[in-house]
Amino acid sequence: MHICRTRFKRQILTEFAAPRRKNSQKVMIFCSGVPGSPDKEDVLEFWSKKGYWCFFPRYRGTWESHGRFLDHSLEYDLFAVIDGMQKRFKDYWTGKSYQVLPKKITVVGTSFGGAAALLSTLDQRVGKAICISPVVDWVEEEKHEPLKDLYKLIRQAYGGVYRINKKNWDRLAGGDFYNPVRHIDQYDPAKIMIIHAKDDDIVKYEPVAQFAKTIKCRFISPNKGGHLSSSTLMNKKYTKRVESFLKR
């Protein structure tokens, strides 16, 4: 399958895979972890074959996208994609143009991007979110692993692919910016499924389990699996459960 490339809001480089039925109104948007390589071709192809328009944006200020990372909360990059797909947009490889008028929008977020998936559900256009090993509280993350260490890693190991200043990054530790737990009373539990392994040593299990219990959302917690990624959704063990959730 050919994975297409476009740009929304003149900034956000987005890979996308079109389903066979181009008039499909089912959309799936993927939000990656940070740091990480932008490689989701397999999962985009997998879900597009199930009838979904699949979009994988690079956050503003990362990889091929313009702008500066964390100038704003990341769910707004997803909203830019939702707005943009409803206008004509062009695949840069082929020159073909497309338009998607979605009725069902699902956001899939992993790790750092799991926070964007959760926060996106506060917008009525987003029908469901699948959150895999999501960060739910940056204050808790700071306790387990100082965010300054992650910032240092990003600057040293990823060079110019994350264009960010320290001031924006430090907003995470304050707890008021891009932090799902801050909106704990606003979530619709019917919109959210969380998958998080108990032995995850990157994003700790306990805060996520407590978050899921508090909002009373669907929660899948395997004993093993480590820090799960979006490829989990191609595992038959989880695919059926996800599809059942999306049909509700």
Q: Of the candidates 195, 169, 1, 214, which has an alpha carbon nearest to the alpha carbon of residue 117?
A: 195
CA-to-CA distance for 237 and 233, rounded, in angstroms? 9
Low-confidence winner among 32-46, 73-87, 113-127 (lowest mean pLDDT): 32-46
217-245 average pLDDT score: 93
Give residue-wise pLDDT tens across range 63-84: 999 999 999 999 999 999 999 9
**What is the per-residue pLDDT across 158-194, written as a single tens digit (0 to 9) for each?**
988 999 999 999 999 999 999 999 999 999 999 999 9
Contact between 113 and 31 under an 8 Å Cβ cutoff? The reply is yes
pLDDT for the residue 144: 76
Whether 122 contacts 183, CB under 8 Å: yes
How many alpha carbons lie under 13 Å from residue 179 in its C-beta half-sphere?
18
* DSSP string for 185-208: TS--GGGEEEE--TT-SSS-HHHH
Q: Average model confidence (pLDDT) for the chain?
A: 94
Domains in the chain, CATH or no CATH each: 4-234 (3.40.50.1820)
